[in-house]
Structure 1
Amino acid sequence: MSPENCFLLDFETDNFPLASTCLNQSTNHSSEVPFQPGVSYAIAPAYGMLILIGLIGNITLIKIFCTVKSMRNVPNLFISSLALGDILLLVTCVPVDASRYLADKWIFGRVGCKLIPFIQLTSVGVSVFTLTALSADRYTAIVKPMDIQTNNALTRICIKAALIWILSMTLAIPEAVFSDMHQFHDKENNKTFVSCAPYPHSDGLHPRIHSMTSFLIFYIIPLSIISVYYYFIAKNLIRSAYNMPVEGNVHVRRQIESRKRLAKTVLVFVGLFAFCWLPTHIIYLYRSYYYPEVDTSALHYIASICARFLAFTNSCVNPFALYLLSKSFRKQFNNQLFCCRPRLIMKNVTECKCMR
């Protein structure tokens, strides 16, 4: 098998990190599942559609929160930061992953080999840490509303959002430092080739440490913290429902209902993140602990592609989840997307009158 064919097959056998699922990390390239040229014709358009849908949704979301004054609040600022991280992932990781099906070699050079994993891991960090901050914000609003400080609230949240980005970039620095163009040897055909990877093939311990650390920092620990927050939120809401008199204050009831809806929205975001990224973590853990012996079965081949696509899908779904859950956002979203429709209708009406 030639080095070029090895590259084309590496999506079956590579060991990709959490945020570098589109990074080429070849190991043992003997394959029982032949590469299908038709795969590129099916997956590349699907990735293109994913990028288009994700960019439309997330850019519209950010535009709404920036231009509509009534939508500028603490949760929405965090959601805007989350959308920015998703855009970053869509314009970096997804095109790089698509290139694997269209090119027979790493086309982004040594600089790209270091920069792209750094950007990708930063994006995933921003997503999960922002969801944790959103959960903490909902916990404060519902369980400890007296602790909310209204003075300069947006300024403080901007600082927190900036710190989340700084933390995510700091945690991504090792990815940029160790990722490089490493040399790999295909023992079956006695050929040597160069590929972008975060560690050389000879290192067996590094992938295990890397996969477990990524799983803990970017999945288990944040979701565990979020679970604790939501346990106390649910407990407080249940107690409030029992203690509130039947003829309670209308304003208080509306406030509680509003907070419940926001908490539900954040919980949906968290659930989508957990669902979309879990298969990627599982496959990476599996591959890292069986690093020398690569699974090249058809089941593993299909599971790898589905896990990649599902992880990328998470960067598209939040705006549409918000569209279904929030009436105010739905109204603004429709206004932004169909802003030209009233003008076209008026133009057609005017033309009809002129013809008469």
Structure 2
Amino acid sequence: PGDINCTASFKESLGSRSYKLLHVPIHGPTHSHHHEPPHPFPTVDVPDHAHYIIGFVILIVGITGVIGNALVIYVFCRSRTLRTAGNMFVVNLAVADFFMSLTQSPVFFAASLHRRWVFGERPCELYAFCGALFGICSMMTLTAIAADCCLAITQPLALVGQVSRRKAGAVLAVLWLYSLGWSLPPFFDWSVYVPEGLQTSCSWDYMTFTPSVRAYTILLFIFVFFIPLGIIASCYFGIFQAIRAAGKEIRELDCGETLRCMNACRTNGRCRKSPSWSLCFL
């Protein structure tokens, strides 16, 4: 009986100990979790110095862009002779690049110092929207500049008195509306603006492969990049062809003048005496 009682008491004590062990809260040292909330945006495994170097380079590029484009805008506003229809496209490009540098570089530099996006969801969307709007407008303005140069060189007489500052302003308004039309859809659930790359900047969500996001990304690349790039390439190829043809005509005219000079010299018999021979030959 004594042994039975001892065995029973031992089992009871063992069961109580196991019960206590099983019900001990196993949280461990979690005081740091209360002070450090989880980050809403992901991070990438990149060395810290890579973030710092890239952020510093982008900051230098941004400062250069702000100063350079501000000078272009200042000179355009101060000089009346530069306020032509063609130069309006140039100054519009400077305005778009100025705001692109002003809104993107400082924020990217600050995020690079923290090695992640730290400004929240709404600032991420606003940052990406500004980058999209000014970037697309720059691309469209480059397309308009290429088309204007091509028409001015290949069809100079057809554009005399046809291009005014009012018409150029209307074209620029269309370019800004076109850029705005491609920048707003992510606010209406057609794609979305999210952190991208090193997670220190925000842009379109080109990594999600849902039908809606994929359709927006494909259309964006077609109508904002490939088609404008094709127009720019075609315009500058046309300029190259026109300059090449004009150079060929000038060389033919020079050869004709040289032959006429040579014939005149031979007829008059003054080839060796007249200094015009060397000029005609040159």
* TM-score interval for Structure 1 and Structure 2 normalised by the shorter chain: 0.5 to 0.7
Can you give the 5+ residue segments of structure 1 that lack an aligned partner in the other structure?
10-33, 183-194, 249-356
Other-structure match for 2:72: 61
Distance 2:216 2:164 in 1: 37
Cα gap change, 1:103/1:109 in structure 2, threshold over 3 Å: closer, same or farther?
same
The size of the alignment, in residue pairs, is: 211
Distance 2:217 2:206 in 1: 15
| Seq. identity, % | 25
- Report 1:1-356 matches (<5 A): 4=39, 7-9=42-44, 34-103=45-114, 106-150=117-161, 153-178=164-189, 204-244=210-250, 245-246=253-254
Gaps in structure 2 of 5+ consecutive residues: 1-36, 195-200, 257-282
**Is 2:76–2:82's contact at 8 Å kept on the other side of the alignment?**
yes
Q: How far apart in 2 are the matches of 1:217 and 1:199? A: 17
The offset of 1:126, in angstroms, is 0.9
Letter of the structure 2 residue corresponding to residue 60 of structure 1:
L
SS of the aligned residue for 2:254 comes to coil
- The answer to whether the Cα contact below 8 Å between 2:133 and 2:179 also exists between their aligned partners in 1 is yes
- Cα offset for 1:133? 0.8
Contact 1:5–1:104 (CA<8 Å) still a contact in 2?
Answer: no
**Equivalent residues of 1:118, 1:176 under 8 A apart:** no
**What's the CA shift string for 1:155-198, capped at 9, x where partnerless?**
2112211221111111211133336688xxxxxxxxxxxx9775
**SS of the residue 1:70 aligns to:** coil
Distance 2:249 2:202 in 1: 60
Instruction: Name the counterpart of 1:353.
Output: none
Would the aligned equivalents of 2:85 and 2:163 in 1 still touch at CA under 8 Å?
Answer: no
2:217 partner SS: helix
> Alignment RMSD, CA only?
3.2
Shift of 1:61: 1.0
CA distance in 2, matches of 1:235, 1:45: 42
- Opposite residue 82 of structure 1, the aligned amino acid is L
C-alpha distance in structure 2 between counterparts of 1:231 and 1:57, whole Å: 29
